[in-house]
Chains A and B, each alone.
Chain A
Amino acid sequence: MRRNNFGYYIKEGTSSIFRHGFMSVASICIIVACLIIMGSFALLALNVRSIISTLESENQILAYVDDAVSESDARALQSAIERLPNVQSAHFISKDTAFQSFKDQYEDKEFLEDMESSVLRHRFIVYVDDIAQMQETQEALRGIQGIAKVTAHLKIAQGFITVRNVVSAVSIVLVLVLLVISLFIMSNTIKLTTFERREEIAIMKMVGATSSFIRWPFVVEGMILGFLGAVIAYLIQWGLYQVIADKLVGNTGLSFLRVLPFSYAAVPMCVVFLVIGLGVGVIGSSTAIRNYLKV
């Protein structure tokens, strides 16, 4: 790009936006709408993942130690358990502690008074990294000498995995579909403006303009429209998220829904919106003008 042409491209690209005001507003609206739908699904997916990972972290395996093993030997099993793959941590609970917490669950403790802690076993609460591999971990725990019994809620784990996969798949498909739709609409919008200006393009070709000289003002126009669309969409998305998050947590009593703060996704979302907005603008305008440059 020649430096003395740079100002010309910016000027032409900007003035074209105003000359074709209606089409420009239409393009921006389409980009805004697509980005907000994409953004909303991404935020929903993020929240679902966050809720699921919280629930996942509470999903634990209980490994009971054989009655014959003494407390000190039982404690020694901790390192063997933690060496297993997929084990995040293991927490030892002695018979006494287990009995105490058992008693604490009941207000009426009289019927427990005659009981001794020896009826219970020493145990480990085992937290895993990935609940998808819970069954393998369970098997591995069973293989440790001194572990008598292992319990895990595999079905619940499987349910979490399914929800996580479905939400991820739907979000990815939706984001891709919307990306294609916005590209298509952007391209057609710029195609209309290039159609209006086909005579001008033909004259430019006839006086010896290079293809890039003709293309740049349209690309600049696409970039500006894409940028404006991204900024507007981001601001609306932000406001919308705050309102919905406040309503969900504040009024409906669904306080167990730990909604992520917008700031958690603010920077990546800003970058993604800008990249998509500019990308749609540039690719849309480049493809729109391609046919006119073949002469």
Chain B
Amino acid sequence: MVQMKDVFKTYENGTKALKGVNIDIKDGEFAFLVGPSGSGKSTVIKLITGEIAATDGKVEVNGFDLNSMKFSQMPKLRRSLGVIFQDFRLIEDKTVFENVAFAMRVVGATNKEIKKRVPYVLELVGLERSVKCYPRELSGGEQQRAAVARALVNNPRMIIADEPTGNLDPARSLELMMLLEKINELGTTMLVVTHEKELVNRFSKRVIAIDGGRIISDGMDGYYSYET
């Protein structure tokens, strides 16, 4: 769940990234956040993950009030989120299994829990045969699926995918989006940031369009008409 109310963000260099943004994403929803480069998409993501704080306005994520939250609470917020990046961000000297297990280790899971959960998640994303591979031995699509498995492994309430298809070809992109849709159907809230119009328009989902730091449209028709 994400609730942003009249959120402003001005960076230290004076850039006004957000100028009064209102976003409300309910539990279990699937939403695309679309907009051109520099529109404020990344700022929205960083506010949700707690990387930066809002200059003004209210931000609430999965029940955590980010305006009044202590820094020591940050790990708890992040454990309720799964994040997928455009550049995958896998650790190069760890195998696929270790990369996913690592996310569980971080939250204090036991070896027994890890051995049970990781193969299940890797099977869900279709990587059961690549458990012992290193990231460099995988294709882009497979690396992104490993990143999805890592985001998913701690059973987060919400997954945020920041340009997840940016480094993938159209076929792999579609495959990945279908995987994210499947995960959403299992109950996880999904926020996908992208500027790939065709891909967005293939799915009938909610589309939130942002430009110049303002929300310019928010519709359930799944249509992305804004020109980038």
- CB distance A208 to B91 under 8 Å? no
CB distance from B175 to the nearest CB of A (A): 24
- CB distance B111 to A4 under 8 Å? yes
27 A-B residue pairs with Cβ-Cβ distance under 8 Å, sorted by A, are A4-B111, A5-B105, A8-B105, A19-B93, A199-B89, A200-B91, A202-B89, A203-B89, A203-B91, A204-B102, A204-B106, A206-B83, A206-B89, A207-B78, A207-B79, A207-B107, A208-B75, A208-B78, A208-B81, A208-B106, A208-B107, A208-B154, A209-B75, A209-B106, A209-B107, A210-B75, A213-B108
Q: Is B206 an interface residue (CB 8 A)?
A: no
CB distance from A66 to the nearest CB of B (A): 81
Interface residues of B in 89-140 (CB under 8 A from A): 89, 91, 93, 102-103, 105-108, 110-111
Q: Is B70 an interface residue (CB 8 A)?
A: no
Distance between Cα atoms of A209 and B109 in the complex (Å): 12
**For residue A75, which residues in chain B have a CB less than 8 angstroms away from its CB?**
none
Which of B76, B89, B102, B108 interacts with A5 by CB under 8 Å?
Answer: B108
Interface residues of B in 41-59 (CB under 8 A from A): 49, 51
**For residue A164, which residues in chain B have a CB less than 8 angstroms away from its CB?**
none
Distance between Cα atoms of A127 and B169 in the complex (Å): 95
Q: Is A2 an interface residue (CB 8 A)?
A: yes
| Contacts beyond the supplied A199-B91, A206-B83, A208-B154: 17 A-B pairs with Cβ under 8 Å | A4-B108, A4-B110, A4-B111, A199-B89, A203-B91, A203-B102, A205-B78, A206-B49, A206-B78, A207-B78, A207-B79, A208-B77, A208-B78, A208-B79, A209-B107, A213-B108, A295-B51
Interface residues of B in 165-180 (CB under 8 A from A): none
Chain B residues with CB under 8 Å of chain A are 49, 51, 75-79, 81, 83, 89, 91, 93, 102-103, 105-108, 110-111, 150, 154
Interface residues of A in 1-27 (CB under 8 A from B): 2, 4-5, 8, 19
**For residue A199, which residues in chain B have a CB less than 8 angstroms away from its CB?**
89, 91
Distance between Cα atoms of A98 and B173 in the complex (Å): 110
CB distance from A71 to the nearest CB of B (A): 84
- CB distance B106 to A207 under 8 Å? yes
**For residue A208, which residues in chain B have a CB less than 8 angstroms away from its CB?**
75-79, 81, 106-107, 154
- CB distance B91 to A207 under 8 Å? no
- Sorted nearest first, the 9 A-B pairs with minimum C-beta distance are A208-B79, A208-B78, A209-B106, A207-B103, A208-B75, A210-B75, A2-B108, A207-B106, A4-B110
**For residue B93, which residues in chain A have a CB less than 8 angstroms away from its CB?**
19
Distance between Cα atoms of A259 and B75 in the complex (Å): 59
Distance between Cα atoms of A199 and B102 in the complex (Å): 14
Q: Which bracket fits the contact residues of A? A: 10 to 19
Chain A residues with CB under 8 Å of chain B are 2, 4-5, 8, 19, 199-200, 202-210, 213, 295
CB distance from B166 to the nearest CB of A (A): 17
B81 nearest in chain A by CB position: A208
Distance between Cα atoms of A288 and B163 in the complex (Å): 33
A2 nearest in chain B by CB position: B108
Which of A5, A205, A207 interacts with B154 by CB under 8 Å?
Answer: A207
**For residue B154, which residues in chain A have a CB less than 8 angstroms away from its CB?**
207-208
Distance between Cα atoms of A51 and B133 in the complex (Å): 68
**For residue A200, which residues in chain B have a CB less than 8 angstroms away from its CB?**
91
Distance between Cα atoms of A213 and B79 in the complex (Å): 14
**For residue A204, which residues in chain B have a CB less than 8 angstroms away from its CB?**
102, 106
Distance between Cα atoms of A202 and B76 in the complex (Å): 16
**For residue A210, which residues in chain B have a CB less than 8 angstroms away from its CB?**
75
Distance between Cα atoms of A200 and B94 in the complex (Å): 11
Distance between Cα atoms of A102 and B76 in the complex (Å): 90
**For residue A4, which residues in chain B have a CB less than 8 angstroms away from its CB?**
108, 110-111
A197 nearest in chain B by CB position: B91
Distance between Cα atoms of A248 and B197 in the complex (Å): 85
CB distance from A45 to the nearest CB of B (A): 46
CB distance from A91 to the nearest CB of B (A): 71
A15 nearest in chain B by CB position: B93
CB distance from B88 to the nearest CB of A (A): 10
A204 nearest in chain B by CB position: B106
**For residue A213, which residues in chain B have a CB less than 8 angstroms away from its CB?**
106, 108
CB distance from A199 to the nearest CB of B (A): 7
Distance between Cα atoms of A19 and B110 in the complex (Å): 25
- CB distance A207 to B89 under 8 Å? no
**For residue A209, which residues in chain B have a CB less than 8 angstroms away from its CB?**
75, 106-107
Distance between Cα atoms of A207 and B102 in the complex (Å): 9
